């Protein structure tokens, strides 16, 4: 409610009271209909993920050279770098999709990955959107014994399915699995502003480990604590 100049008009006390009453009721309605995503993810043990002298290369293209890193509980890391420097390859090695040429990836017993890749999702002809989600889970457990259903998650991230909306659906299938270590490879591509805001809100409250590759520095600055730069030639 904007305060108007006294010379033009003043609002009566009753009108001001009415305004605040309406505003309070509207705010309450938003809270009642808002899907709270305070995730009650599986407990993470002391060992998260350990990378021991990881090396990976392709013909005339080294990606990693005896790289070592130990992820800590709740760590939020972003990876940036030019195309072709090996960022997605690194994510594949970390998640077990690809194997290093040498070295070891040791994953803690309690770790459950949720991996959003650039490959997207394959949908069967005639398959309903809600059925795609339910293939991966029916609900996500929330704090205080609550839960969010596949339908609620779908309504929060997706209303229809075409073009960029397919990316939203894929994102839902990753989140419904209730991972405690999220790996996101260019998650902001093809997302509209509304969905992007929902994703940002979710990630800011996500209590597990987070590893994100993105060219969107504004997005990265908001959700991660540390940045790694892939420079190519096995340098990070």
* pLDDT tens per residue, range 92-121: 999 999 999 999 999 999 999 999 988 766
pLDDT tens digits in sequence order for the chain, 236 residues long: 333 344 444 444 444 444 344 445 434 433 433 444 555 566 788 899 999 999 999 988 889 999 999 999 999 999 999 888 899 999 999 999 999 999 999 999 999 999 998 876 666 676 666 777 777 777 666 666 777 777 777 676 655 544 456 777 788 788 878 889 999 999 988 777 877 887 888 888 888 999 999 999 889 999 999 998 888 776 67
Average pLDDT, rounded, for the chain? 77
Task: Give φ, ψ of 115 to 5 degrees.
Answer: -115, 115
Check residue 192 and give left, alpha or beta (phi > 0: left; psi -120 to 50: alpha).
beta
- Tokens at residue 2, please? 């904007």
Q: In the prediction, which pLDDT does 170 show?
A: 81
C-alpha to C-alpha distance for 79 and 73, rounded to whole angstroms: 18
C-alpha to C-alpha distance for 53 and 234, rounded to whole angstroms: 12
Q: Buried b / exposed e across 109-144, counting CB within 10 Å, b at 16+?
A: eebbbbbbbeeebeeeeeeebbebbbebbebbebee
Q: In the prediction, which pLDDT does 213 show?
A: 95
* pLDDT tens per residue, range 171-201: 878 887 888 999 999 998 877 787 788 788 8
Contact 49, 95 (CB under 8 A): no
Residue 232: CB atoms within 10 Å: 14
Q: In the prediction, which pLDDT does 52 show?
A: 96
């Amino acid at each position: 409610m904007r305060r108007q100049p006294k010379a033009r008009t003043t609002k009566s006390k009753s009108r001001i009271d009415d305004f605040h009453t309406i505003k309070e009721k509207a705010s309450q309605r938003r809270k009642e209909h808002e899907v709270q995503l305070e995730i009650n993810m599986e407990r993470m043990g002391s060992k998260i993920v350990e990378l021991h002298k990881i090396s990976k290369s392709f013909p005339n293209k080294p990606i990693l050279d005896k790289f070592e890193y130990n992820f800590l509980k709740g760590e939020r890391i972003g990876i940036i770098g030019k195309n072709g420097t090996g960022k997605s390859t690194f994510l594949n090695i970390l998640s077990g999709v690809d194997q290093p040429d040498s070295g070891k990836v040791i994953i803690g017993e309690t770790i459950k990955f949720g991996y959003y890749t650039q490959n997207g999702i394959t949908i069967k002809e005639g398959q309903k959107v809600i059925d795609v989600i339910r293939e991966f889970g029916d609900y996500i457990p929330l704090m205080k014994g609550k839960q969010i259903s596949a339908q609620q998650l779908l309504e929060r991230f997706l209303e229809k399915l075409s073009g960029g909306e397919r990316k939203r659906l894929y994102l839902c299938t990753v989140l419904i699995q209730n991972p405690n270590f999220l790996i996101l490879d260019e998650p902001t591509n093809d997302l509209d502003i509304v969905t992007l805001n929902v994703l940002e809100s979710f990630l800011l409250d996500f209590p597990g480990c987070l590893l994100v590759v993105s060219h969107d520095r504004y997005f990265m600055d908001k959700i991660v604590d540390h940045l790694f730069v892939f420079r190519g030639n096995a340098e990070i």
